[in-house]
Structure 1
Amino acid sequence: MRDVRVRAAVAVLVVVTAACTAAACSESTDDRSSTAPVSASRTPLNPFEQQRTDGVAALLDELSSVIRTGDKDGVDALVDRAAPRRIDDRLHTMADAFARGSDRGRRGGPLAATSFTYRVAPSSGAEWQLAPTVATKVDEAGATDTWVTPVELTYALGGAAVPGVAEPEVTLSETMAFARYGDEWKLLGDASVALDPRPTTTGPDAPVEIGPWEFGGLAATDVRTAGGSSTILSYPTTDKVVERARKIMPGAVAAVSKFWGDDWPQRAAVIATGDQAEFAGLTRTAARDTGVAAAATVFSRIDERAKQVVGQRIVLSPNAADLSEPALAVVLRHELMHVATRLSTPEIAPMWLTEGVPEYVGRKGTYREFVDAAPDLAVEVAANRLPKSLPVDSDFAVDSDAARVAYQSAWSFAAFVSDKYGEPVLKNMYRKMTASGDTPAMDAAMKNAVGHDKNALVKQWQKWLRVQVR
């Protein structure tokens, strides 16, 4: 599917490939931002506001500690008795992700985070109020104050150990409600226990970014790759996928570096999901939109100043369990190419390039004949229905015969350029085109890299296709 935009401006794109059998590979679109400081003035808090902020901040410090240490009893001590049961359940699930001693089978052990800290976030606009039924409960329990406020969780994944994948810190945002009893504050719930003062005409919120601890049974295992530790997180029923991914990752990273070079982290965080709810939640999409995907690469933002991609994850769907080890290797090499090229790939770059080259790297050396790699396109070529041009982005939009032909066409064009002009030229074409601005500039960069303009290359590609299918 194309352009499924969410809060972090991420879109999941289904990549239909022969190597992925009945599944697909997918990636996220670009969202570039900067962490440059912003000058702002702020009115000092009055004593009441400061006391409220300090009290809730202290509670959040305790909450950060008990979750990160897997202390479920400590969680219970911080939650208000009037809080909905699902709040307790959610926090227990989060703490369990870090808890030592629970059985995770062959998938690994508990997660170790490099950092994990809640804090009160700056707020503006009308203050949220508790829902009347909740307000009545805490009033009857003797609460002297309540507060609904934005909260931020800043964290960095480790893995089975720290520093693990050694990633930059990610910040997640949510709304939390608190109640005060004398000098003690308790966690009352999330936004669902409050009344949203924002206009209803703004429409529903986009899916929010969440951490992997939001789903039960999380396990972590590390595997050594060229850039250090890569981390594989997983959920129940994914034992086989985790075992295969551990074997594949070192070679997959090496294959990407062989093509692209070593100017990328050469490590990654991979999450193996066991059901569509986990996959949809971590990719910020609707479950119905991801039914054919085998993987998606998502990220929080790009820090231009530090030249870092923040919160990048390769998320494997439940469909990955149906892939053979060679097919899963194709998927991981494809997705790792997205990881490697993320900083240099703007959203405007055409999908025939940004999907075709990763598919070329993913599938290299995995097929004997053209028809094995591009069966749908081979049928079209054999019927004398050659593609008249490179596929446009809308051609990749859905899981259909047309989309499969588009993805196979994108792969075949990359394979053609490599076959006729060499891999260094293919890589140079990718780098120069993605470093350009608008479409005319990209077309000029393409000619500069290969030595022929797009129209000439398409004609050469058509002749190459005839030879492959002959």
Structure 2
Amino acid sequence: MSRRAAAAVLLAAAVLAGGCSKGEYVAPPPSATTGDVADPAAAADTLARLQTAIRDGDGDAASGLGADAAAGDLLAAVVANAAALGLADVTLRYVTETGRTSGAAGWDGQVAATWRVDGFDEASARIELPVSFAGHGTSIAALGGSGARLPLWLAGPVAVQRDGDVLVAVAGDAAQAERYLPAARRAVEEVRAVVPDRGGLVVEVPADAEGLQRALDTEPGKYAAIAAITAPVDGTEAAGSPVHVFLNRTVYDGLDPVAAQVVMTHEAVHALTGAVAARRAPLWLVEGFADYVALRDVDLPLAKTAGQIAAQVRTDGVPKALPAPGDFDPSASHLGAVYEAAWLVCVTLADHAGERALVALYEDVRDGTDLADALREHAGWTEAELTTAWQDRLAALPGVAG
């Protein structure tokens, strides 16, 4: 007998046994559905009012849209963040219900949001943001939700520091933002010394690992061991989609000043040279070139800059091939050695053909030129010849040779 049939039999038996008469029986009311509490028109109006408050810089108006004091403070902070960041093209458009309700008048909806940092981003970022409404849609209880991207400027108060074409946004107070600005400024200068005429740099610093996870919409722990990452703000690879540098404070703040600067410059190379869009470029070139620029003017011995790959070569011998894409997985073992190996590929190319040739090769391959063709044109090598020269360099590293 099915569960439905069994339930029907039990109900009939109860009625026949006199549990309640026909006139006295009242069916229990159905559970409230989203349609019972959701008012899309009210939600759309609330979002329009918030959008206007952001445009006008009216924190009081935004705060008044909060369902409670905490929500009001968050919405006021959103307005302040937008002003400090210089956001443009901010739009908030109601899309649909999610099916989740809370109490008699609370419900969740999906909201399409757009924005860009004026003077830095070529096009607007675009996401769908979960929003918890209250009062059937007349107020906002919360922004964001589990398993969804939550941009830094919508997550809470943000401190912003700007120096010309460098902008740093930090979850926290202004003093924290000031800590990262000099490194970002120097990073841009170091990139332009090698690859001139690039745009500005935006660095975002979430409060903690959870904030980074929400800003990038990643699974927990994916970047736990990574000091920084360069990524599209909205997670898309659409042409012109804003690309910013995101710091993992848990790791970055523990680095010594030299290492922290190398990390910042490495990520600035990615952001300023369009590396995220380099779909056909091998990762050894993308990552190796970024380290080439970051380490170009750093006065450190090879025992420091190539110590991990040297130890690996001593143990396992010289690699048979250039680093493969899977070697760069953030969770892979010997990740430091892989990056050092990629850096030495680019050092080998620069020593052989010159820095200008390396830059030209990088830009051509980034823009879609076949690696074999670019190597032939700019270095006069095949990939096999490059591999051999790189292997010879690895074999000659301190602690390996002799």
TM-score calculated relative to the size of structure 2: 0.76
1:341-396 Cα shifts (integer Å, max 9, x gaps): 22684323221111111011111121432221011112234457112210111122
User: Residue 152 of structure 2 is aligned with which of 201, 208, 212?
Assistant: 212
**What does residue 87 of structure 2 align with?**
113
**What does residue 4 of structure 2 align with?**
none
CA change 1:398–1:302 in 2 (3 A) is closer
Taking the aligned partners of 2:341 and 2:275, their CA distance within structure 1 comes to 25
**What does residue 74 of structure 2 align with?**
93
**What does residue 280 of structure 1 align with?**
213
Q: Aligned to 1:288, what secondary structure does the other structure show?
A: coil
User: Which runs of 5 or more residues in structure 2 are unaligned?
Assistant: 1-38
**What does residue 18 of structure 2 align with?**
none
More off after superposition, 442-451 vs 215-224: 442-451
Q: Aligned to 2:160, what secondary structure does the other structure show?
A: strand
User: Residue 374 of structure 1 is aligned with which of 306, 309, 320?
Assistant: 306
**What does residue 168 of structure 1 align with?**
123
1:80-134 Cα shifts (integer Å, max 9, x gaps): 6xxxx6xx6355324224449xxxxxxxx9544334331234x6xxx75563x63
Offset, 1:260: 2.0
Offset, 1:191: 10
The reply on whether 1:342 has 2:258 as its aligned counterpart is: no
Identical columns (%) = 22
Taking the aligned partners of 1:283 and 1:362, their CA distance within structure 2 comes to 24
User: Which runs of 5 or more residues in structure 1 are unaligned?
Assistant: 1-51, 101-108, 139-145, 158-162, 194-204
Offset, 1:64: 2.1
Matches within 5 A, 1:9-158: 56-66=43-53, 74-75=61-62, 77-79=64-66, 89-90=70-71, 92-99=73-80, 110-121=84-95, 129=99, 131=101, 134=103, 137-138=104-105, 150-157=110-117
1:74 alignment partner AA: A
The reply on whether 1:316 has 2:268 as its aligned counterpart is: no
8 A Cα contact 1:66 1:95, kept in partner: no
The reply on whether 1:427 has 2:356 as its aligned counterpart is: no
Offset, 1:443: 2.6
**What does residue 104 of structure 1 align with?**
none
**What does residue 106 of structure 1 align with?**
none
CA change 1:384–1:154 in 2 (3 A) is closer
**What does residue 233 of structure 1 align with?**
169
CA change 1:73–1:56 in 2 (3 A) is same
Taking the aligned partners of 2:307 and 2:281, their CA distance within structure 1 comes to 26
2:270 alignment partner AA: H
User: Which one has the bigger helix percentage?
Assistant: 2
8 A Cα contact 1:432 1:446, kept in partner: no
1:63 alignment partner AA: L
User: Residue 138 of structure 2 is aligned with which of 178, 186, 190?
Assistant: 186
1:183-229 Cα shifts (integer Å, max 9, x gaps): xx613657999xxxxxxxxxxx9x433221243341111112xxxx3
Taking the aligned partners of 1:316 and 1:78, their CA distance within structure 2 comes to 32
User: Rg bigger for which structure?
Assistant: 2
Taking the aligned partners of 2:254 and 2:143, their CA distance within structure 1 comes to 38
8 A Cα contact 1:344 1:431, kept in partner: no
Taking the aligned partners of 1:63 and 1:344, their CA distance within structure 2 comes to 33
CA change 1:468–1:421 in 2 (3 A) is farther
TM-score calculated relative to the size of structure 1: 0.66
CA change 1:188–1:113 in 2 (3 A) is closer
Offset, 1:256: 1.0
CA change 1:111–1:444 in 2 (3 A) is closer
CA change 1:223–1:191 in 2 (3 A) is closer
The reply on whether 1:247 has 2:151 as its aligned counterpart is: no
The reply on whether 1:453 has 2:388 as its aligned counterpart is: no
Offset, 1:325: 2.6
Taking the aligned partners of 1:428 and 1:347, their CA distance within structure 2 comes to 17
1:170 alignment partner AA: A
1:397 alignment partner AA: D
Taking the aligned partners of 1:149 and 1:395, their CA distance within structure 2 comes to 40
Higher relative contact order (CA 8 A, sep 6+): 1
CA change 1:90–1:421 in 2 (3 A) is farther
Taking the aligned partners of 2:64 and 2:89, their CA distance within structure 1 comes to 22
The alignment covers a number of residue pairs equal to 357
Offset, 1:422: 0.9
Offset, 1:314: 0.6
